[in-house]
Amino acid sequence: QVQLAESGGDSVQTGGSLRLSCVASGYISRWRCVAWFRQVPGKEGEGVGVIVTEGGTTFYVDDVKGRFTISKDNAKNTVYLQMDSLKPEDEAMYYCAQRHCFGLVRNLNEGEYNYWGQGTQVTVSS
């Protein structure tokens, strides 16, 4: 059993930056993908990006590519989402999620992820 906890959400101005953290506890597999999703009330959630904890391969959706960066610290069981050049459309509840995986990932599918955090709110104002 794995528990995930996000933190770092805040209110920022357009163009600002935030770093979100996702800390895992419990039984943590060496072979896992940790993904970030976001959701606005009334809309379906969308994937942001994912990192393979063994090796560090990443994948990002086009909307955030070049602005967001996912990194990891395996010793701390933590995955980070660095968000730069934030836009109003980035405002959402951000969730981290985990599934077992190997190697390369080139897509995000909510249904494949078994463990989810409670979310952390990101607000972007102009």
pLDDT band at 21 (very low <50, low <70, confident <90, very high): very high
Of 24 and 28, more confident: 24
pLDDT band at 102 (very low <50, low <70, confident <90, very high): confident
Q: What is the pLDDT of residue 29?
A: 86
Of 32, 55, 11, 19, nearest to 112 by C-alpha is: 32
Q: What is the pLDDT of residue 86?
A: 98
Q: What is the pLDDT of residue 37?
A: 98
Q: What is the pLDDT of residue 8?
A: 98
Handedness of CA 125, 118, 99, 10 (dihedral sign): positive
Mean pLDDT value of segment 79-83: 98
Structure tokens at 93: 């509840």
Question: Element (H or E) spanning 93, and its range?
Answer: strand 92-100
